[in-house]
A = this chain, B = another copy of it.
Amino acid sequence: MCAPLSEEEAAELAPLFKAIADPVRLRLLSLIACRKGGEVCVCELTGAFDVTAPTISHHLKVLKQAGLVVSERRGTWVYYRVNPHLLERLSSLLDPRPLTATSR
């Protein structure tokens, strides 16, 4: 995390953090990211939560619109995977280690 963000970068990144700043979306993201093979059928996601299928669909749509997940329809079902490049960007941004290295 060590060039201070410009106004433009901050304006671009804040909505991504907003998209993950919800407990259901955080759990969806971690369920998708942690799946071996990197892909999860929407049919498996709805069962993992105490909320209705339309609510899960809404949250997946928010993650997708932010670019954090991508989806592909195959036959009856839609399959989700995370966008590793975008997650890595957010992860690096919050990583305090580069700072520590710089200030030594």
The residue from B1, B30, B103 contacting A37, defined by CB atoms under 8 A apart: B103
What number of A residues sit within 8 Å (CB to CB) of B?
A: 44
List residues of A (68-82) whose CB comes within 8 Å of B's CBs: 82
User: A4: which B residues are within 8 A, CB to CB?
Assistant: 27, 30-31, 34
The residue from B11, B13, B87 contacting A96, defined by CB atoms under 8 A apart: B87
Could you mark each residue 29-47 of chain A with 1 if its beta carbon is under 8 Å from any beta carbon of chain B, else 0?
1110110111000000000
A14 to chain B, nearest CB (A): 5
Q: Is the CB of B99 within 8 A of A33?
A: yes
Is A53's beta carbon under 8 Å from chain B?
no
User: A17: which B residues are within 8 A, CB to CB?
Assistant: 17-18, 20-21, 26
